[in-house]
Amino acid sequence: MFYNVQTYPLSGWHFGPAQPADLDIVLKSTAATRLGIPPVSAGDTTAGYQTTYPLQSTLSAGKDYPLDYKLGDMQRKEELEVGARGTLSPLAEVGTKVLYPRIQEGGGENADVAAAQLRALVAGLQGGPELNPGSVLATVKHWPGEGAGGEAGIVYDATTIKYHMIPFRAAMEAGAVNIMPGYAGSSYLDPGGPGAGDSAKILTYLRQNLGYTGLITTDWLPSGAWVNAANAGSDVMGGADPGAAGFTMAGFEQQVPLARINDAVTRILKLKFELGIFDHPYGDPVNGPYRFHQPSYTQLANQAARESDTVLKNNGVLPLKLNSGDNIVVAGDRATDGAACCIWSSYFHPDYGSLDQLDALKARAAQNGVNVAQGTAANPKVAVVYVGEPSYTHATAWPDTQPYLPADQLALIQNYRNQGLKVVVVLTLPRPIVISDWNTLADAIVVTYRGGEEVGPATASLLFGDYTPRGKLPWQLPRSLDQVLKPGGGDNQADANEAWDLPYDLGATAAERADIRAKIDAGQTVPTTYGNPLYAYGAGLTSWATG
């Protein structure tokens, strides 16, 4: 029921990832215990174990569900190489709140797209429609849908909860048997109650209303919360270290009924038998060589980035038509920020040959005899400016109530525009931001989201016209901050000008919001055309025509 098996072999769970040799030691550490029950190693490998593919919101721009399945399957194969048997992903969250930092990890604003993606990823990770000895355990999160408010609190009601349950139901249909409650409570499911992992009402809704019978694994909790979480119905205490100060198993058993413990342990053992780890607990092979970053895997990650890259506008500058000897000038911190491609424990791997945006553009330009220089260049034909938000996890890199480019990045775009150059802006966009202040300064805008470690080569190929764009925005982009917040407002409901639980409502009228709610209540597809955003949900050019 606990983590930290590397120190406490009876814990049952290991928080990964780890180097192969270290993981092998951890997996074998339980062999000397009385029953020798092997652990499951799971970590925040949310977009790949070794080969890093685009985040889910990025994949939602591509909407290629067979490819999503292949990406999950690729991750499964890489984990099995070393005996890692779980991942703390995917997210079943619909991103309907602009200011929610973790909107980057979810499936976008369209619940049906998020649901289709969940089915594909769960099936790929688990190697089929149900858990089996070839599976990696998917952990679907964050119950009950933090996209409708964030970690501070979920705000949907009896109507809008229907929209936010769609991906969770899809994950269960696909065979998901492990769900992680988030930190947020729900004002509808448990008014005034605690976070989901400690709330008996929120967990009961999962089991009784959705018919879920699988494992419930909490998010990472302080030691004082473990008893409450177990009594509420959680089976595995995420991050729970049996060596924490003040914790004893005897004390835990005194405060948690034996029937509740047996219920949880029964589910855990059933899952481990289904994974086949009693027969094959140590990975295959355990001593390498490890088949990571295979050429076919890199190709899949590249395809995912290509299909997701979104061209929002193009005033005839793309694809780049340059002659041998021509110069491109490049600017912006994201040009050399390989880590901006990804988050958590899915990393950028230069040691495997991954290229950042600048190096990828140089490599592609060299094929045409075109020169690329950073900062300044002699008589450049075009400026490519790489802007956007660096990598982050729980909290945004920029102030959360300032979803727009900082002044120094805006100045770069303005500088090259003032020089009379054609300006291509390549935007790292993990969450919806306001781009109205520079939208007209750019001759072309290419959105790369968090595109995985092949996003550099994929984007460079796009700029040179090696393929036609096909990605489309997975959210609306606000026309102004006023569509999100009241002037001077903070990240709270009282200051919000958007409805945190409704899709497609930036700049929407009261009548439009009522219509969105009515369609959700009736179980109808919600049109994506409501409101008055700068760029609508689904915006993106699919040809090289000017637009």
Strands, sheet with 137-138, edge to edge from the N-terminal-most edge strand:
13-16, 40-43, 86-87, 137-138
CA angle 531, 112, 195 (to 5 degrees): 85
Chain-centroid distance of CA 188 in Å reads: 25
pLDDT in tens, 154-197: 999 999 999 999 999 999 999 999 999 999 999 999 999 999 99
Phi–psi pair at 316, nearest 5 degrees: 90, 0
Residues 111, 214: one domain?
yes
Does 473 fall in a domain? no
Check residue 313 and give its pLDDT.
98
Residues 438, 491: one domain?
no
Name 314's bridge partners. Answer: 444
Strands, sheet with 382-388, edge to edge from the N-terminal-most edge strand:
310-314, 444-447, 422-428, 382-388, 327-331, 371-374
Number of compact structural domains in the chain: 3
Check residue 284 and give its pLDDT.
60
Q: Compute the distance between CA of residue 113 and CA of residue 110 in angstroms, rounded to an integer.
A: 5
Phi-psi group of 240: left, alpha or beta (phi > 0 → left; psi -120 to 50 → alpha; rest → beta): beta
Boundary-marking domain end, from 275, 291, 325: 275
Residues 306, 183: one domain?
no
Q: Compute the distance between CA of residue 322 and CA of residue 464 in angstroms, rounded to an integer.
A: 9
Boundary-marking domain end, from 275, 290, 311: 275
Does 528 fall in a domain? no
Query: Coil, helix or strand for 539?
Result: coil
Q: What amino acid is encoded at 235 in this protein? A: D
Give residue 392's pLDDT band: very low, low, confident or very high (50, 70, 90). very high
Does 497 fall in a domain? yes
Average pLDDT, the chain: 95
Check residue 314 and give its pLDDT.
98
Check residue 249 and give its pLDDT.
84
pLDDT at 479 over 80: yes
Helix 295-308 with 455-463: angle, nearest 10 deg? 50
For strands 310-314 and 215-216, give the pairing.
Answer: unpaired
DSSP string spanning 128-171?
A: SSS--TT--EE-EEEETTGGGT-TT-B---TTTHHHHHHHHHHH
Residues 401, 253: one domain?
no
Q: Compute the distance between CA of residue 51 and CA of residue 89 in angstroms, rounded to an integer.
A: 15
Residues 250, 133: one domain?
yes
Residues 316, 245: one domain?
no
Does 130 fall in a domain? yes
Nearest by Cα to 157 from 144, 141, 168: 144
The structure's pTM equals 0.97
Residues 234, 118: one domain?
yes
pLDDT at 44 over 80: yes
Contact 122/171 with Cβ under 8 angstroms? yes
pLDDT in tens, 213-260: 999 999 987 666 889 999 999 999 988 777 777 778 888 999 999 999
Check residue 280 and give its pLDDT.
87
Does 541 fall in a domain? no
By CB atoms closer than 10 A (0-12, 13-18, 19+), residue 409 is buried
pLDDT at 285 over 60: no
Residues 245, 352: one domain?
no
Residues 371, 426: one domain?
yes
- Which parts of 139-284 are beta strand (E)? 140-143, 178-181, 215-216
Host H or E run for residue 13: strand 13-16
pLDDT in tens, 87-121: 999 999 999 999 999 999 999 999 999 999 999 99
Query: Coil, helix or strand for 183?
Result: coil
The CA–CA distances, whole Å, from 352 to 307, 349, 514 equal 22, 5, 51
Residues 174, 245: one domain?
yes
Does 469 fall in a domain? no
pLDDT at 410 over 70: yes
Host H or E run for residue 387: strand 382-388
Contact 76/14 with Cβ under 8 angstroms? no
**CATH number, domain at 371?**
3.40.50.1700
Q: Compute the distance between CA of residue 337 and CA of residue 317 in angstroms, rounded to an integer.
A: 25
**CATH number, domain at 192?**
3.20.20.300
Does 496 fall in a domain? yes
3-state SS of 333-373?
HHHCCHHHHCCCCCCCCHHHCCCCHHHHHHHHHHCCCCEEE
Which CB contacts under 8 angstroms, 24+ apart, belong to 398-403? 400/99, 400/101, 400/491, 401/99, 401/485, 401/489, 401/490, 401/491, 403/98, 403/99, 403/431, 403/432, 403/433, 403/434, 403/478, 403/481, 403/484
Boundary-marking domain end, from 260, 275, 290: 275
Contact 276/132 with Cβ under 8 angstroms? yes
Q: Compute the distance between CA of residue 226 and CA of residue 43 in angstroms, rounded to an integer.
A: 19
Q: Which domain holds residue 333?
A: 301-463
HSE-up of residue 83 (Cα within 13 Å, Cβ side): 28
Residues 348, 395: one domain?
yes
Residues 66, 175: one domain?
yes
Does 155 fall in a domain? yes
